[in-house]
Structure 1
Amino acid sequence: MSTVDARPRPYGSYVYAYPHKTAYRPLDDRPALAELWAGEPKDALSLYAHIPFCEVRCGFCNLFTRIGAPDELTGRYLDALDRQATAVRDALGDAAPVRFATAAFGGGTPTFLTAAELERLCDIAEKRMGADLRAVPLSVETSPATATADRLAVLAERGATRLSIGVQSFVEAEARAAVRPQRRADVEAALGRIRDTGVPVLNIDLIYGIDGQTEESWRLSLDAALAWRPEELYLYPLYVRPLTGLGRIQDPAAADREWDERRLRLYRHGRDHLLARGYEQVSMRMFRAADAGPAGPDDYACQTDGMIGLGCGARSYTSALHYSFDYAVDMREIRSIIDVYTGTEDFSRAGVGRWVDGDEARRRHLLQSLLQAAGMPLAGYAERFGSSPFEDFGAELARFERLGWLDTEAPEGLLRLSPEGLAYSDGLGPALFSPAVRAAMAAYEPK
């Protein structure tokens, strides 16, 4: 095998959106949202509200969130969210139909908010944005400590169809090793309260690659999760990132080949364990019970449709611009950004983002389609871009084929990853980043 075909590391980076926020930069012209959305389809949008508060920050977490909310900060944050929602809905206008096909509350931990504050968050989504939360899939993230009965009751009554809880490990020693102190009894009690709501989809997040974790202890967590018969399970590899809790006490460079191989072994063990128990693989991370019914109508596709993000850690997508607010991981920087957000009166312009040209749009479509186990219909790509991915990304796809990452038995007209390709999603995804995005990410100074 030639050097160019040398197998890359399987854990480059988690590609959950492209371009990554570390490629965003301040927008000198600060374009008006009304102009950005003027020509965009608005009949199948996604609405995302970001709540940047947690009761504790896990050691692996690099999300935009802070611990606690002193001095009625959550109230001021919701005030700002209300102002932002009003400005965004005005910018969308009424010249064309505006409809939200899906909604999600994430963070941070949305259930850090009180029950009354969750009611207000739902009111903002419905009364300011016009989202019908009871008619579309609504996903909400929670944690063992904040999944209280009163909060969950609000979410169930307001239309939540999916509750996602970050457990990470049912083994208390592993939770401590990941700087996520929790008691298994508290986790089990929270899962019981979630099931009591009757919300149709329970998702449980688990992490593999924690220090001291073995195949036996990993299977213990998997089986403890399966005992609740969750409709969905997400299996995440542990990453040690700069400025996170673990990043301060471990050397990220220590994530060497041996650790890669250990995580791969645990991934394959978890994947096979779930497949053997009636789950279907949706992506490298996501597994869904084969008998789980749909959580509601969902005609939104992240590859093609726009997103409205509310909150200081949320992104918004038009066909030409991805935009948000400033991004940070360090707690002091996050606090400063939240303070700026809560003091903002004018939300009518985009301040930080990245323009997306034709090449980047093709990369994004290919990335976000190919990393799904279902694969990408070639006809849909051709209809949208007037070309073939083999014409646009021939060298990359040829390399993926040599590495055994493409499914050679996929039906005609479907580009799909092999099981090995799915296993290497976090190495394959970054290989499709453009040189410009790579350069911007490399130049980003973590803060």
Structure 2
Amino acid sequence: MTTAPPTGPYQHYVYAYPHKTAYRPLPDRPSLTSLWEREDKSALSLYLHIPFCEVRCGFCNLFTRIGAPDGLTGAYLDALERQATAVRDALGDGDGTRFATAAFGGGTPTFLTARELNRLCDIAEHRMGADLRAVPLSVEASPATATADRLAVLAERGTTRLSLGVQSFVDSEARAAVRPQRRADVEAALGRIRDAAIPVLNIDLIYGIDGQTEETWLHSLDAALAWRPEELYLYPLYVRPLTGLDRHRPDSGRDPAWDEQRLRLYRSGRDHLLAQGYVQQSMRMFRRADAPPQGADDYACQTDGMIGLGCGARSYTSALHYSFDYAVGMHEIRGIIDDYVATTDFSRAAVGYRIDPREARRRHLLQSLLQADGLDTADYRARFGSLPADDFGAELDALAHQGWLADPTGARLRLTAEGLAHSDAVGPRLFSPAVRAAMAAYERK
């Protein structure tokens, strides 16, 4: 029996396909050498994951733990270096291996001290061979950890983009999202980031928080715009299982009133940013029209290889997406981190999802269509030897019938404005039955 596509405008934020809840232990534990030996390694993306935060926000279901006992961050970096050595050995030392982008995420990478951040950069450069000063390097931070000494390290090591999770400039809304912070501290952090002269500042904001109104939402947007950020990400609030908000507001099914509130706030925020000279790149991402180019707007796993280091990171080859075990609950996350730190042999993939040719086509369609620029049908045909309508005609017809797909027979498939607004429903509609079934069967932990 297959699992039916979900309904409602807010189902999944599809930042990668398939979701890690579709991953399973790999019985054969393939060697990394065998996985990468036939891959194109000329423009890889490198991602280093730091699974620590000073606090855990109420909406967060990312792979992260609160704080770190003495010595754990150092031991984690030791394991990261062992993994980097094994991965680089598997990639080989030929001239064909090159990294085109790099990113540090989490968790909160700036949870690390300035000295530890320097070591993190050394691992990326000296162990993996990524030239951080020659490629776009994006780093995530929180207001409390965006200190002058950490920012100085990041700027000196080549960071081109700093993403700051603010979520709201209204203190009462931050508290409602279980994110203890004061606006004064946020503003101070933004001042330090601008003083560090990192070329691109991104500010994350959330809509749909309890007590939020259109007036307070626009107030937060204007507070962010006062810093003239090169990018803004607008995220709808989700209440996910095993998160802090889930304990206070269990998700018992669709809430049409909340759906309508989030859609209304999204539209007002989108229109406000467009009027202020920002260009919409996806449902969530807006870039200032005069911002410096940074390469790809969002990492797109439909075309590029990804090397992920760290116990919460994913790696992508053309035939396999792989990672380590996944959890949301604090006890389970701590166990996975402890296991990672104790690992000495990183030469094999342990958990993943195999990508057959049909899933590769689906991934390309899905990840392209969720960008405002859409999908170039000629590029798709050059890669797969067919047209999207040949492979996914029924799904595309359904989106067009809904009014979410503009000109389904054109040379470029794009979502309409309303289709972009419903991206978190469009993406899950394109999941394969096999992926939906695997996600539904996942046992939360």
Q: TM-score range by the shorter chain?
A: over 0.9
Aligned to 1:445: 443
**Partner residue of 2:165?**
166
User: In the alignment, which residue of structure 2 is the partner of 1:83?
Assistant: 82
2:189 counterpart of 1:190: yes
Cross-structure match for 2:230: 231
> Structure 1's 146 and 248: CA in aligned 2 closer, same or farther, altered over 3 A?
same
Residue matched to 2:210: 211
Match of 1:202 in 2: 201
Name the CA distance, whole Å, in 2 between partners of 1:280 and 1:117. 36
| Matching of residues 216-295 of structure 1 within 5 Å | 216-253=215-252, 255-295=254-294
Question: Which runs of 4 or more aligned residues in structure 1 lie more than 2 Å from their structure 2 counterparts after TM superposition?
Answer: 295-302
Q: What one-letter code is carried by the residue in structure 1 that aligns with 2:418?
A: E
The alpha carbon displacement at 1:94 in A equals 2.8
SS of residue matched to 2:415: coil
What is the aligned partner in structure 2 of residue 102 from structure 1? 101
Among 423, 426, 429, the residue aligned to 1:428: 426
8 Å contact from structure 1 (residues 137, 298) kept in 2: no
In structure 2, C-alpha distance between the alignment counterparts of 1:145 and 1:113, rounded to whole Å: 12
Partner of 2:309: 310
RMSD: 1.6
Cα distance in 1 between the residues matched to 2:296 and 2:61: 32
Given that 1:206 and 1:234 are in contact with CA atoms closer than 8 Å, whether structure 2 keeps it comes out as yes
Corresponding letter in the other structure for 1:52: P
Instruction: Find the aligned partners of 2:103 and 2:14 in 1 and give their Cα distance.
Output: 19
Aligned to 2:9: 10
The change in CA–CA distance for 1:19 and 1:301 in structure 2 (over 3 A counts) is closer
Instruction: Give the superposition deviation at 1:276.
Output: 0.4
CA distance in 1, matches of 2:271, 2:114: 39
Deviations 1:153-193 (A, max 9, x none): 00000000000000000000000000001000000000000
Deviates more, 1:149-158 or 1:244-253: 244-253
Q: TM-score, with normalisation over the residues of structure 2? A: 0.97
1:41-120 equivalences under 5 Å are 41-95=40-94, 97-120=96-119
Structure 2: distance between partners of 1:156 and 1:296: 18
Is the Cα contact below 8 Å between 1:135 and 1:296 reproduced in 2? no
Q: Percent identity?
A: 78
Q: What is the SS of the residue equivalent to 2:150?
A: helix
Q: Could you tell me whether the CA contact under 8 Å between 1:377 and 1:415 is conserved in 2?
A: yes
Unaligned 5+ segments in structure 1 are 1-5
| 1:302 positional shift | 3.1
Match of 2:378 in 1: 379
**Counterpart mapping for 1:345-360 below 5 A:** 345-360=344-359
Per-residue displacement from partner, 1:299-324 (whole Å, max 9, x unpaired)? 98532110000000000000000000
Residues 103 and 137, structure 1, Cα contact 8 Å, conserved in 2:
yes
Is residue 161–residue 296 contact of structure 1 (8 Å, CA) maintained in 2?
A: no
Residues 309 and 119 of structure 1: is their aligned pair in 2 closer, same or farther, counting only changes over 3 Å? Answer: same
Unaligned stretches of 5+ residues in structure 2 = none
Aligned equivalents of 2:6, 2:353: Cα separation in 1? 31
Matched to 1:437, the amino acid is V
Tell whether 2:416 aligns with 1:418.
yes
Counterparts of residues 27-42 of structure 1 (less than 5 Å): 27-42=26-41
Deviation of 1:71 after TM superposition, in Å, equals 2.2
Separation in structure 2 between the aligned mates of residue 385 and residue 411 of structure 1, nearest angstrom: 18
Using the alignment, how far apart are the partners of 1:290 and 1:300 within structure 2? 20
Kept in 2, the 8 Å contact 1:44–1:300? The answer is no
Aligned residue in 2 for 1:361? 360
- TM-score, with length taken from structure 1: 0.97
Contact in 1 for aligned 2:43/2:100 (Cα 8 Å): yes
CA drift of 1:249 comes to 1.3
Secondary structure of 2:340's counterpart equals helix
SS in 2 for 1:365: helix
Deviation at 1:293?
A: 1.5
